[in-house]
Chains A and B, each alone.
Chain A
Amino acid sequence: MTSYVARRGMHAMLILLGVSLVTFLLMHLTGDPVTLFMPLDASPEDIAVMRSAMGFDRPIMVQYLHFVGDALRGDFGQSLRHRQPALSLVVGRLPATMQLTVLALLLAVVAAVPLGVVSAARRGSGVSFAASLLGLLGQSMPVFWLGIVLILLFSVNLRWLPASGRGSIVHLIMPAVTIGTYSMAMLMRLMRATMMDVLSQDYIRTARAKGISERGVIFKHAMRNAAIPVITVMGLQLGTLLGGAVITETVFAWPGLGRLLIQGFHNRDMAVVQAAVFVMALMIVVANLLADLTYVLCDPRVRYG
């Protein structure tokens, strides 16, 4: 177990290093932070003066090595636009991002698991049909469209919910539903498929043959086994939620990490993009690690060598 965690830790480090290198190269391929920073009518001489003051006139590899060296000490550099340490900007957005992501995932799971189980256990029933339809619809609506329709319906027409912003729990409802819908649909279909698969396995038949009630079969035997892929996909979905959050955050004016990242990219604010991508990658890597470790809790027979 310990060596497994150590090995996964090494992998995680490699992944993070890879992510930082890709980010760095992409940012250098995609434009000049200095010209974007200056007004349109700045003269070439003024731009050159500013470029050397910012250190962007050094060779790329030198800049990258400097960056990695600083990052190892926890210093991701200053944001050009915000004039603050990039990492503290990113960390400042974490609470909002976590609230949204966690609630969305929670909503997705709370809706998806029972629906998936019921529709697998009662295949062909009305519930199953409705759940399938819901799952398919949830996966066929673009996020921004769903968000705007929700605002028009629940804020402008019914006046039940605030249209945007952050404050109390009611502000969270629409963004969380918007961003969670796709994951909900995906998890629901997964849960249904996995349950159907598990229910057709031999040991379930044995359990049934032993006279265990259908309820017992489902909750004691099938659920536990079906949980493993669902947990893994939840880990992977975190990436989707964080990535998809950019659009939801934009529609609902939610002050999260995704918007910081995209604004940083638009302004070619190197330090902010690096720090934001790093933190997102770290969260995804950690979530996947946790998901894998959860197997042990779900199924004591799974051992890691």
Chain B
Amino acid sequence: MIVILIVAACGPAPSESSPASAELGSEGEIVIAQGVDATTLDPNMHAETPTSNVNVQIYDSLLMRDAEGELQLSLAESYENIDDHTWEFRLRRGVTFHNGERFDAKSVKFTLDRILDPDNQSPQYSHISAISEVEIVDDYTIRMHTRDPFPTLPSQMVARQMVPAGYTGEHGGEHLARNPIGTGPYRFVSWTPDEEIRLRANEEYWRGMPTIRDVVFRVVPETSTRIAELQTGSVDIIVNVPPHQAETLEAGEGTAISRAPSSRAIFVGMVTTEPGPLTDRRVRQALNYGVDVDSIIENVLMGNGVPLAGQPVVDMHHGFSGSLDPYPHDPSRARELLADAGHPGGFSIAMDSPSGRYLMDRETAQAVAGQLEAIDVEVALNVQEWGVYVDKIMSRQLTELFLIGWGNATFDADATMYPWFRSGQQFCYFEDDALDAALDLARETMDMDVRQDRYIEIMQLLHEEAPWIFLHQQMDIYGISDRIEWNARPDELIHAYEARLRADD
């Protein structure tokens, strides 16, 4: 198969003169198309997946996740929990940044401190604001002191990418954002905003030289256009393929599909903290019985989803209960429950949904609304642009039902459970004193097995209380050209380091 790299032919050609590149074995180019551009290449100053996808090529963190989502060492050589309020990390020696600067404890302290300084306005601040002090023990040992016990601190170190203290201190964050220097597998070459970012293999990478020499990120906002680009062979990996197109790409010549269940749970939240039918547990259960999740997965998502197992977290999260099942689709049971709760003729209710934020979100919302109408619950559906939606979320002005997705990249139940079910938290629309106590206890339990047991009890309670209409775990679908080998990961990230060119092209 001959692939015509239109981008390579027409884009600003990088210098081809480096003789070293021919010998080092990195070769070829892959082009990755995302819907939006990276906003900054300063890895500590954003909280977005598309931006992370570029930054993970350039920077490393103390820890990383492997293709199965398991926590692995990266720039840390080991780490341990010294006491309830202290974590210690030992750092890998001999790692240098792309500009030759040494990676050591100074880099770590500098990086974490700049996130923790409110004047720097980092959107990652709240992820680690529990850290009270970062202490350099020696050149390759660092300690993090926390205000409260912080058992999920290691998970938070996956997305805290290390920047060079000397370079950043000298030139400032604004310079770093445009001229990134990291320890990662790829060096920055050029960035044409809203168009493309070009990266070139870092031949001295500490994990070993990357196999692919050039990585290009292109911005193609419209889904149909991204698919056309893949079909014409101009790009190699595209994100967010709609389910009905997946089959076409799978069958198509030169294209394939890679999919992975993500950590994101899609559900319909219910406001139980205001008076209304939803304050009654029977009504909430009825809505769960009324929605046919399997049919939505089969017909709207074309099989690209896994039903939530009657609880807010998914099986890759620590705290998942394996003994719970999804609510079955049972409209007559739903009508009985509604009648018991005093709504024999159903009721009317409003529902909010974002548009274009999650895979098939507005279609899913329409399907849910249609199914609820079959059990006489009339739904007034209100679909909004994401910016508007976020504002409604943050000002707690969502309607009684609202479709939303919750990604939990820490792979620990706490990051879902605490914000959604602890009274007084931003997303808590279901308040219960016993639940609050259980969540507080589990959150500060450092022993992972004991934590697991405590969360399983909580999951049982939430299954019965049904504070959400449990829908599905999102499946991330990528289109790939068959000139490369690459597998989708559960953390929504694309590591070009893991991709290979097929030999026979």
Direct contact of A and B (CB under 8 A): yes
B177 within 8 A of A: yes
Instruction: Contact check, B232 vs A259: say whether CB atoms are below 8 A apart.
Output: no
**Residue A164 at the chain B interface, CB threshold 8 Å:** yes
* Cα–Cα, bound, A167→B426 (Å): 46
Are A156 and B228 closer than 8 Å at their CB atoms? yes
A84 adjacent to chain B (CB < 8 Å): yes
Q: Which of B52-60, B124-132, B260-268, B284-292 contacts A (4 or more CB under 8 A)?
A: B124-132
B330-357 interface bits toward A, Cβ cutoff 8 Å, 1 = contact, 0 = none: 0000000000000000000000000000
The verdict on A43 contacting B426 (CB below 8 Å), with A32-B394, A36-B387, A163-B232 known, is yes
- Chain B interface size range: 35 or more
The residue in chain A whose Cβ has the minimal distance to the Cβ of B220 is A253
Cα–Cα, bound, A83→B196 (Å): 18
A219 at interface by CB-CB < 8 Å? no
Q: Mark B390-423, 1 if CB is under 8 A from A, else 0.
A: 1101110000000000000000000100010000
B10, B11, B174, B196 pick with most chain A CB within 10 angstroms: B10
Contacts of B39 on A, CB cut-off 8 Å?
Answer: 81-82
For A43, the chain B residues whose CB sits under 8 A away are 126, 129, 426
A43 to B127, CA, bound (A): 10
Q: Kindly supply a per-residue 1/0 record for chain A positions 16-57, scoring 1 wherever the CB is within 8 Å of any chain B CB and 0 otherwise.
A: 000000000000000110011111111110100110011000
Q: Which residues of A contact B6 (CB under 8 A)?
A: 162, 165, 167
A-contact bits for B271-299, CB 8 A (1 contact / 0 none)? 00000000000000000000000000000
Given that A31-B388, A38-B123, A267-B387 are contacting pairs, would A92 and B193 also be in contact in the complex, using a CB cutoff of 8 Å?
yes
Q: Is B169 an interface residue (CB 8 A)?
A: no
Determine the distance from Cα of A153 to Cα of B292 in the docked complex, in whole angstroms.
38
Expressed in whole angstroms, the minimum distance between the Cβ of B443 and any Cβ of chain A is 14
CA distance A46 to B229 in the complex (A): 42
Given known pairs A82-B40, A83-B42, A83-B174, the reply for A50 and B125 (CB within 8 Å) is yes
Chain B residues closer than 8 Å to A77, beta-carbon distance: none
Q: In the complex, A252→B33 CA distance in Å?
A: 13
Bound complex: CA A148 to CA B228 (Å): 10
Q: Once bound together, how far apart are the Cα atoms of A267 and B193, in whole Å?
A: 16
Q: Beyond A49-B118, A81-B40, A266-B386, is A163–B228 a contact (Cβ under 8 Å)?
A: yes
Known: A42-B126, A266-B386. A89 touches B10 (CB 8 A): no
B118–A35 touching, CB < 8 Å = no
Identify which of residues 232-286 in chain A touch chain B, using a CB-to-CB cut-off of 8 Å: 250-253, 255-256, 259-260, 263, 265-268
Can you list, as one digit per residue, whether each of B25-46 has a CB less than 8 Å from chain A (1) or not (0)?
0000000000010011010011
Is B21 an interface position by the 8 A CB rule?
Answer: no
Closest A residue to B406 by beta carbon equals: A40
The answer on a CB contact under 8 Å between B394 and A35 is yes
Shortest beta-carbon distance from A250 to chain B in Å = 5
Inter-chain contacts of B232 with A (CB < 8 A): 155-156, 159, 162-163
Closest chain B CB from A299 CB (angstroms)? 42
In the bound complex, how far is the Cα of B193 from the Cα of A38, in angstroms?
Answer: 22
The yes or no answer to B504 lying at the interface (CB within 8 A) is no
Q: In this complex, what residue of B is CB-closest to A149?
A: B224
Decide if B219 is an interface residue (CB 8 Å cutoff): yes
Mask: chain B, 109-132; 1 = CB below 8 Å from A; 0 = not = 000000000110101111101000
Given A31-B391, A41-B419: A152 in contact with B228 (beta carbons within 8 A): yes
For A171, list chain B residues within 8 Å (CB): 10
Q: Which residues of A contact B192 (CB under 8 A)?
A: 255
> Is A7 in contact with chain B by the CB < 8 A criterion?
no
A224 within 8 A of B: no
Contact A40 B393 (CB under 8 A): yes
Q: Does A151 contact B (CB under 8 A)?
A: yes
Query: Are A165 and B394 interface neighbours, CB within 8 A?
Result: no
Q: Which of A155, A164, A268 has the most CB of B within 10 A?
A: A164
Query: Are A151 and B224 in contact (CB-based, < 8 A)?
Result: yes
Which bucket holds chain A's interface residue count? 35 or more
Question: When the two chains form their complex, are residues B194 and A53 in contact, meaning their CB atoms are under 8 A apart?
Answer: no
Q: How far is the CA of A32 from the CA of B193 in the complex (A)?
A: 25
Q: Which of chain B's residues have a CB closer than 8 A to the CB of A2?
A: none
Interface centre among A54, A163, A263 (most CB of B within 10 A): A163
Chain A residues near B11 (CB-CB < 8 A): 167
A166 on interface, CB distance cutoff 8 Å? yes
Q: Is A266 in contact with B10, judged by CB distance below 8 angstroms? A: no
Nearest A residue (CB) for B385: A266
| Inter-subunit contact A251/B129 (CB<8 Å) | no
Query: Which of A162, A165, A170, A260 counts the most chain B CB atoms within 10 A?
Result: A165
Contact between chains at B231 and A259 (CB < 8 Å): no
B225 in complex: contacting residue of A80, A167, A251, A268, CB < 8 Å: A251
CB <8 Å contact, A46 and B225: no
Question: C-beta contact mask, A137-154 vs B, less than 8 Å → 1, else 0?
Answer: 000000010001001100
CB nearest neighbor in B for A144: B222
Task: Given A81-B39, A92-B193, check contact A35 B390 (CB 8 Å).
Answer: yes
Among B195, B224, B229, the residue within 8 A (CB) of A166 is B195
Interface contact B125-A46, CB-CB below 8 Å = yes
Find the A residue at minimum CB distance from B419. Answer: A41
Contact (Cβ within 8 A) A252 B225? yes
Contact check, A148 vs B394: say whether CB atoms are below 8 A apart. no
B209 at the interface (CB under 8 A from A): no
User: Chain A nearest CB: distance from B30 CB in Å?
Assistant: 16
Query: Does chain A have a CB within 8 A of B157?
Result: no
CA–CA, A42 and B125, complex, Å: 8
What residues on A are CB-neighbors of B222 within 8 Å?
144, 148, 164, 250-253
Interface contact A50-B121, CB-CB below 8 Å: yes
- In the complex, A32 Cα to B126 Cα: how many Å? 18
**Is residue A93 within 8 Å, beta carbon to beta carbon, of the partner chain?**
yes
| Bound CA span A159–B228, Å | 10
| Interface membership of B47, Cβ < 8 A | yes
Task: Assess the B123–A39 pair: CB atoms within 8 A.
Answer: yes
Report if A36-B390 is in contact (Cβ < 8 Å); known contacts: A53-B121, A164-B225: yes
Q: Which residues of B contact A (CB under 8 A)?
A: 6-7, 9-11, 36, 39-40, 42, 45-47, 118-119, 121, 123-127, 129, 173-174, 177-178, 192-196, 218-222, 224-225, 228-229, 231-232, 234, 385-388, 390-391, 393-395, 415, 419, 426-427
6 further contact pairs, Cβ within 8 A, besides A53-B118, A156-B228: A42-B426, A46-B125, A83-B40, A251-B224, A253-B222, A267-B387
Question: Can you name 18 A-B residue pairings with CB atoms under 8 Å?
Answer: A31-B388, A36-B387, A37-B121, A38-B126, A41-B427, A53-B118, A81-B40, A93-B193, A148-B222, A152-B228, A156-B228, A162-B232, A164-B220, A165-B195, A165-B220, A167-B9, A253-B220, A253-B222
Nearest 7 A-B pairs (CB), nearest first? A167-B10, A255-B194, A35-B394, A42-B126, A163-B228, A253-B220, A266-B387
